Structure 1
Amino acid sequence: MMLNKALEYTAVYLLLGGNLGNREENLEQAISLIGANMGKLEAISSVYETAAWGKNDQPSFLNQAVAVKTNLTAVQVLENALNIEQTLGRVRKEKWGARLIDIDLIFFGNEVIDIENLLQVPHPQMQFRKFVMAPLAEIAPQMIHPVLGKTVLDIYENITDELTVRKL
């Protein structure tokens, strides 16, 4: 008799953001589609408003972090995120440009992934960006960054980014 192998689930952390259209509704629709397509929603942060980063001649962003338990691979999570962005009307015109929705894969469990020109996990710039760390620290303060060896809360409390991030 063969036993069915139990599915393995990974805790995935995503950062959602957008600064065009109905920003709140775009976040809500993205979260709904993430739950329907990626796995079980485990935690959702508050919404944070942030001035644009990198290219600041555009409207401010709303950001939100989401934790999902999934049995998908990291590449499948990325593909789903890109599909959700497209479904919600995202058009990629310029780096750091205005957008309806953006979904970034921040952590995939405690894995370190580097697939050239496709995916880097943990997100390589997360520790420098308050708009990523503030919502993430709310839902995963004790998560340990697998490269830096520090908790999310410790990284957030010691960040040098001076961009104003306001919890709504």
Structure 2
Amino acid sequence: MALEHTIAYLLLGGNLGDRKKNLELAIQLLNEEAGTVSAVSSIYETAAWGVTEQPDFLNQAVQLETNLSPLELLEKILEIEQKLGRIRKEKWGERLIDIDLILFGDEIINIENRLQVPHPQMQNRKFVMKPLAEIAPNVNHPLLGKTILEISENISDLLEVNKL
């Protein structure tokens, strides 16, 4: 039985190789394998978060219309990252591509050590909220009861996030 279309929001990022090309390839593969990418934010450049001694990241938010379940989408995201050469060495380390599932409709999902949606740190990270607010300003955060725009305007993260 096919699931209804769900609108999911993903954050793409990377700081190795041809960063723009890696974002483009990730969007292309999401379109081919996970659903329809129906909105894409501008690209933003951000200093690394967590482990700071590494190259700057490019980040971009995408809106994806998908028939996949949340876990199927997570598996597809991991496959796409692997196809694009992602190697997981260290948490918050440098990477060719990173695709995070930020929101999945208005669902609240907590599958221990597998998947948490909404992304548990999204509201604390300007590099997530700024591109997301560009394509989904009026979407409500299912736990906080505020719009993405409201959250992004009141974020305390001091990391500089610059639109390219």
TM-score (norm 2): 0.98
Amino acid at match of 1:16: L
Residue 40 (structure 1) shift: 1.1
The structure-2 alpha-carbon separation of the partners of 1:6 and 1:158, relative to structure 1 and needing over 3 Å to count, comes to same
Q: Spell out the pairing of 1:4-23 with structure 2 (5 A cutoff).
A: 7-23=3-19
Q: Spell out the pairing of 1:61-80 with structure 2 (5 A cutoff).
A: 61-80=57-76
> For 1:23-60, what per-residue CA distance to the aligned partner results, in whole angstroms no more than 9, with x for missing partners?
00000000000000111111000000000000100000
Max Rg structure = 1
1:49 aligns with 2:45: yes
1:73 and 1:7 map into 2 onto residues whose CA distance is 7
Residue 7 (structure 1) shift: 4.9
Q: Which moved more, 1:152-161 or 1:34-43?
A: 34-43
Unaligned 5+ runs, structure 1: none
Aligned counterpart for 1:101 among listed residues 73, 93, 97 = 97
Task: Provide the aligned length of Structure 1 versus Structure 2.
Answer: 164
Unaligned 5+ runs, structure 2: none
Aligned counterpart for 1:146 among listed residues 126, 142, 148 = 142
> For 1:56-84, what per-residue CA distance to the aligned partner results, in whole angstroms no more than 9, with x for missing partners?
00000000000011110000110010000
**Structure 1 segments (4+ residues) deviating >3 Å:** none
Aligned to 1:126: 122
1:13 and 1:95 map into 2 onto residues whose CA distance is 22
Aligned-residue sequence identity (percent) comes to 66
